[in-house]
A and B are shown apart, each in its own frame.
Chain A
Amino acid sequence: MNTLFGEKKAEAKKLVFTSVDQYPEAPVSLDTTLSNFTGDWRTFIPVINEEKCVKCYICWKFCPEPAIYIKPDGYVAVDYDYCKGCGICANECPAKAITMEKEEK
């Protein structure tokens, strides 16, 4: 799958610790802040409707994380590892192509 940070993110995923012994003694960020997966902050999730999207990229510009990327076909997509569900993209989209839906976890 094409994502925002591609291979770099795969590296960052290795920094996700699954047992307490793997953690560094002090809370320092090791190498990259990409490992701060803000995706689990979310309650609502943005869903993009390509039929309505006019490829203006306003959502891409406004996303504070930034979690929106442009796919080779020119449409936008959300990297859900980083999307914190703030809803700014949906609010700013002039074509109302983004809806915020309650995420089932």
Chain B
Amino acid sequence: MAEYKPIKKVVSGNYAAAYAAKDARVQVVAAYPITPQTSIIEKIAEFIADGEANIQYVPVESEHSAMAACIGASAAGARAFTATSAQGLALMHEMLHWASGARLPIVMVDVNRAMAPPWSVWDDQTDSLAQRDTGWMQFYAENNQEVYDGVLMAFKVAETVNVPAMVIESAFILSHTYDVVEMIPQELVDEFLPPREPLYDLANFEKPFSVGALATPADYYEFRYKLAKAHEEAKKVIREVGREFGERFGRDYSRMIETYRTDDADFVFLGMGSLMGTVKQAVDLLREEGYRVGAAKVLWFRPFPGEELYELAKGVEGIAVLDRNFSFGQEGILFNEAKGVLYNTKARPLMKNYIVGLGGRDFTVSDVRKIAENMKAIIEKGELDVEVDWYHLKR
């Protein structure tokens, strides 16, 4: 095994995604440009034009077609990739079910962007979380490095369990912000991620078959169970692949929830994506001020790491769930999921939902401090003031 010397580049989150797709040796990219995803596929087009990557690029007239083309390519055995945002992801929705139902390990980067109207191009997780039940795995990146690493791991996990995966990054906060990313030399990526071995060989003309054909009520149910089992299996694979990634490249992803200073914490902040960088910085400051707090970042939202959440919940008195998303008629989506997981366990800390950062609203260290003060007060009192706190609201 060759020695690992990272190639350091200063890139945007979008370029990190494009480099990762190239290094993963994707064979087919079908995509439609949409802000703020555009520079991902522009960069890939540039790689192709410069002869740096041998990729079939399929320019399509919509995101629905982009996913359809990826499905065709993946069914034929290719490693397929695409990227999108917000309304574009929504337009793909129907095709997302086809990809997971046919068990095609496509990887897509979704650049989190608020759903319109009102028209917005800024950060918000509701677009990707609205695809929660499509059978895709979801990895939420905190920074540009995790975008790069996430795409490589997503391909490996997806191709092991034959389930497609989304790697999700924040609009502008990551997509257009430059940072140092340690990239992995091609030969080491090739060792980590060998060529795909498809479940079925659609290009074998001796033995033709069709994909996604009719299943009557006598059979459909079993296929759903198989996909459900594949997600369960994926949890094991994710942890193994994350551990292997850590051993080879020094960044450990063996846990689906990354914990930061949670060991002796009275309460923790639970959230996903780029806002957790802010939270970790705030945790350091709050620790200096005497708050015993920690941060827990959900890296993989699907499959949901219920076991790890339970471990975390056992040791704390409170969990402040930060949701940059909302399920109308109910509450923040991560909050809803986290409460649901803990209901049948013995770990039932006080949990409060803070709706933060919707549509790109700034979320800062001082916001985390205010939330910490509020959490401290409700834990002392032993009861919630409100369950769902529209924290930034102009009152």
User: Do A and B actually bind?
Assistant: yes
Residues of A within 8 A of B (CB): 16-17, 20, 23-31, 33, 36-38, 40-41
| Residues of B contacting A30 in the complex (Cβ-Cβ under 8 angstroms) | 209
| Residues of B contacting A17 in the complex (Cβ-Cβ under 8 angstroms) | 219, 222
Q: Which of A23, A24, A25, A40 lies in contact with B216, CB distance below 8 A?
A: A40
| Residues of A contacting B225 in the complex (Cβ-Cβ under 8 angstroms) | 20
Q: Which of B102, B217, B218, B230 lies in contact with A27, CB distance below 8 A?
A: B102
Chain B contributes a number of interface residues (CB within 8 A of A) equal to 23
B370 at the interface (CB under 8 A from A): no
State whether B200 touches A27 (Cβ < 8 A): no
Chain A: minimal CB distance from B97 (Å): 12
State whether B199 touches A29 (Cβ < 8 A): no
> Considering the chains assembled together, what is the distance between the CA atoms of A28 and B162 in angstroms?
14
Can you sample 7 A-B contacts with CB below 8 Å?
A: A20-B222, A27-B102, A27-B103, A27-B215, A29-B214, A37-B216, A37-B218
**Closest residue to B220 on the A side, CB-wise?**
A27
Dominant secondary structure at the B interface: loop
> Considering the chains assembled together, what is the distance between the CA atoms of A37 and B215 in angstroms?
10
- The total number of A-B Cβ pairs within 8 Å is 57
State whether B213 touches A29 (Cβ < 8 A): yes
State whether B212 touches A27 (Cβ < 8 A): yes
The 9 closest A-B pairs by CB, nearest first: A26-B103, A29-B213, A29-B210, A20-B222, A27-B223, A23-B222, A28-B209, A28-B211, A36-B214
Q: A37-B216, A40-B216 are in contact. Are A26 and B222 (CB under 8 A)?
A: no
| Residues of B contacting A40 in the complex (Cβ-Cβ under 8 angstroms) | 216-218
Q: In residues 224-279 of chain B, which contact A (Cβ within 8 Å)?
A: 225-226, 230
Q: Besides the contacts A26-B211, A28-B213, what 14 more A-B pairs have beta carbons closer than 8 Å?
A: A16-B218, A20-B225, A23-B226, A25-B226, A26-B200, A27-B103, A27-B223, A28-B200, A28-B212, A29-B209, A29-B213, A30-B209, A33-B210, A40-B217
**Closest residue to B229 on the A side, CB-wise?**
A20
Chain A: minimal CB distance from B196 (Å): 14
B101 at the interface (CB under 8 A from A): yes
| Residues of A contacting B104 in the complex (Cβ-Cβ under 8 angstroms) | 26
State whether A27 touches B216 (Cβ < 8 A): no
Q: A28-B209, A29-B210, A31-B209 are in contact. Are A23 and B219 (CB under 8 A)?
A: yes
Q: A37-B216, A40-B217 are in contact. Are A27 and B101 (CB under 8 A)?
A: yes
**Closest residue to A27 on the B side, CB-wise?**
B223
